[in-house]
């Protein structure tokens, strides 16, 4: 009897517990359903509006255009870097960072309404058929592109195309007009713009972007420089707008010690992820200076911040852009997609790289405002958030508020900008002069493959007398003796660089001749 009573009591208690659990489950379900209905109702409003427009609008609708516009407008309310990319734009943006593209394999410039080939990529389709640096691009298939103010991006689109397809490029070479039928192919895209020894013991690498092949390219370039006796490296990421985060991690890892934090990311729906160096980097003992500018962004800032916060090397230049939002791609069946911000980047000391973006207009004009406010000309004008203070490994204070403030600030120098120099820049006189020099000495210049021969060639041009005469003759730009004295020390290296890039030395020659008058590089070398 006693046992029976005990079982009855247990049954009652169990029944009460089940009842409570069921009640709680129903309450939670109803609460979740209420929240879901609220959220669904908020999102459904957009569909209702589009449906009303479709059923009542006076004219035929472009549904695709309206949908795209609605998505773009919605994402614009989030942050400056969450964007919708239609199919072609998505393809172009992915291709730009992929490390290769399909096309004909040339680099060109447009100094005076006619595109001029600067480089024919080794092993590419254009080299195989005989295109040469200095060729003027006159037509793509039957479309005239020279002398008609043809947009440069449209030229690129016409030359690119799937591997195996053909395109006819008509060029002007001296007095000849030559058509080349080119079969397009896969073309490697290099992210390292230049790599050479800038002085004994000191190497220089300039990185243009963080593409899929960045770490591989940088590592190879650094190994070559080590073989040439490099003990210290100037790593230049000025004007590098970023790219793939994993490449910034691999690059940082090559310089940092085991366990050093590189960066961490965190967001409302993304738990904190911390990335650390594994200690297998091959450049841990190489001296390092990182050069940054107001246009260094995203992956460039991850790299610079990791080096600075770990006190691994000095950062020299001007405050970087301040792009510290992590975008994740989402793709749709029509080959369009969105890049949605899902987290923020933080440097090892805890600084958020992202600058404020409450006002989209202020964000869009931030770089312009830095010039207007004098920030690029004076360290005293830099707006640091001194309330958001962090510390590097050795205890040095660094500040949040957006971007990486360099350890050594280098102002932009405007003292060399004479009226003559500004007038020449406005008409691209320097670039057109360089292409004219190539026309005159194409065979000789194209064959130069060492700096001793290039030095002799440039010395024989008598640029001091020839360029001012050219500027007056071609563009009507007069130069007084005082202006030339002010401008020549800066302009002559620029002319030498523009001419030298037409040789087999390519972009390395451009930077080799131009960097001696680069204030940021000069300061970095002084610090050594």
Return the DSSP state at 416: T
* Angle between helical axes of 299-309 and 245-255 (0-180°, round to 10): 30
The helix or strand, by DSSP H or E, that contains position 167, with its residue range, turns out to be: strand 166-173
Tokens of residue 37, six digits: 């209905």
- For residue 147, is it left (φ>0), alpha (ψ between -120 and 50) or beta? left
Within 8 A by CB and 6+ apart from 76, the residues are: 360
Nearest to 376 by CA among 419, 354, 406, 348: 406
Residue where the block lists tokens 């247990």: 10
Instruction: Spot the catalytic one: 298, 300, 320, 418.
Output: 298
Tell me the backbone φ, ψ of residue 260, rounded to 5 degrees: -60, 130
What is the CB neighbour count within 10 angstroms for residue 48?
10
Number of H helices, E strands in the chain: 17, 21
CA nearest to 161, candidates 185, 138, 129: 185
Enumerate the H helices of 279-341 as residue ranges. 299-309
Question: CA 399: distance to chain centroid?
Answer: 24
Q: Are 316 and 333 in contact (CB under 8 A)?
A: no
Interior/surface letters 349-361, b for 16+ CB within 10 angstroms, e for the rest = bebbbbbebeeee
Annotation marks residue 309 as catalytic = yes
Identify which of 345, 354, 412, 422 has the alpha carbon closest to the alpha carbon of residue 381: 412
Task: Dump strand ranges (E) for 305-403.
Answer: 314-317, 325-331, 337-346, 389-391, 397-399
What is the rounded CA–CA span in Å between residue 296 and residue 332? 31
Catalytic residue among 126, 193, 314, 323: 323
Tell which residue, 244, 519, 284, has the closest CA to residue 406.
Answer: 519
**DSSP string computed for 391-423:** E-TT--EEE-SSS---SEE-PPP-TT--HHHHH
Residue 117 near residue 132, CB atoms below 8 Å: yes
Whole-number Cα distances in Å, 120 to 27, 104, 152, 164, 208:
70, 9, 18, 19, 19
> Which run of H or of E encompasses 232?
strand 232-236
Give the phi and the psi of residue 32 in degrees, each rounded to 5: -65, -40
Separation of alpha carbons 325 and 319, rounded Å: 17
Exactly one of 135, 236, 260, 309 is catalytic; name it.
309
Distance CA 154, CA 220 (A): 34
330 Cβ contact list (under 8 Å, min separation 6)? 337, 338, 339, 340
Residue 323 bears catalytic tag: yes
Active-site annotation, residues: 298, 309, 323
């Amino acid at each position: 009897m006693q046992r029976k009573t005990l079982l009855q009591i247990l049954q009652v208690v169990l029944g009460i517990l089940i009842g409570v659990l069921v009640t709680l489950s129903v309450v939670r379900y109803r609460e979740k359903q209420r929240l879901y209905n609220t959220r669904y109702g908020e999102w459904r409003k957009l569909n209702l509006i589009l449906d009303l427009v479709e059923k009542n609008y006076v004219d035929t609708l472009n549904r695709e255009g309206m949908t795209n516009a609605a998505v773009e407008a919605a994402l614009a309310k989030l942050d400056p870097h969450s964007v919708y990319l239609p199919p072609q734009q998505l393809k172009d943006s992915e291709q730009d960072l992929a490390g290769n593209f399909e096309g004909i394999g040339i680099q060109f410039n447009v100094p005076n309404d006619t595109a001029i080939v600067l480089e024919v990529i080794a092993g590419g389709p254009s080299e195989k058929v005989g295109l040469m640096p200095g060729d003027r691009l006159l037509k793509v298939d039957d479309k005239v592109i020279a002398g008609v103010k043809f947009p440069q991006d449209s030229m690129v689109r016409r030359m690119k195309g799937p591997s195996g397809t053909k395109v006819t490029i008509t060029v002007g070479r001296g007095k000849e007009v030559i058509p080349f039928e080119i079969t397009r192919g896969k073309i490697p895209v290099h992210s390292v713009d230049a790599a050479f020894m800038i002085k004994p013991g000191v190497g220089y690498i300039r990185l243009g972007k963080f593409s899929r092949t960045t770490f591989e390219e940088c590592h190879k370039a650094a190994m070559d420089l080590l073989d040439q006796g490099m003990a210290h490296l100037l790593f230049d990421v000025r004007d590098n707008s970023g790219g793939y985060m994993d490449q910034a991690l691999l690059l940082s890892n090559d310089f940092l010690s085991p366990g050093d934090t590189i960066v961490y990311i965190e967001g409302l729906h993304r738990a904190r992820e911390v990335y650390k160096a594994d200690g297998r980097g091959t450049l841990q003992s190489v001296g390092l200076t990182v050069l940054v500018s107001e246009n260094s962004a995203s992956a460039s800032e991850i790299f610079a911040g990791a080096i600075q916060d770990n006190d691994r090397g000095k950062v020299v230049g001007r405050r970087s852009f301040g792009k510290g939002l992590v975008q994740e791609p989402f793709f749709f069946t029509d080959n369009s997609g969105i890049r949605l911000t899902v987290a923020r980047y933080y440097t090892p000391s805890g600084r958020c790289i992202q600058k404020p973006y409450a006002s989209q207009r202020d964000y869009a004009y931030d770089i312009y405002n830095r010039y207007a406010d004098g920030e690029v000309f004076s360290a005293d004008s830099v707006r640091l958030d001194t309330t958001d203070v962090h510390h590097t490994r050795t205890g040095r204070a660094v500040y949040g508020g957006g971007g990486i403030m360099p350890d050594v600030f280098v102002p932009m120098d405007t003292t060399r900008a004479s009226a003559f120099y500004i007038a020449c820049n406005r008409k691209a006189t320097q670039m057109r002069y360089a292409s004219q020099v190539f026309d005159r000495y194409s065979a000789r210049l194209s064959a130069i493959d060492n700096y001793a021969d290039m030095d002799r060639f440039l010395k024989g041009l008598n640029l001091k007398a020839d360029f001012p005469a050219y500027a007056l003759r071609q563009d009507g730009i007069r130069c007084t003796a005082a202006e030339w004295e002010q401008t020549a020390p800066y302009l002559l290296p620029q002319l030498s660089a523009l001419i030298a890039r037409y040789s087999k030395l390519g972009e390395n020659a451009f930077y080799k001749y131009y960097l001696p008058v680069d204030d940021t590089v000069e300061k970095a070398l002084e610090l050594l």
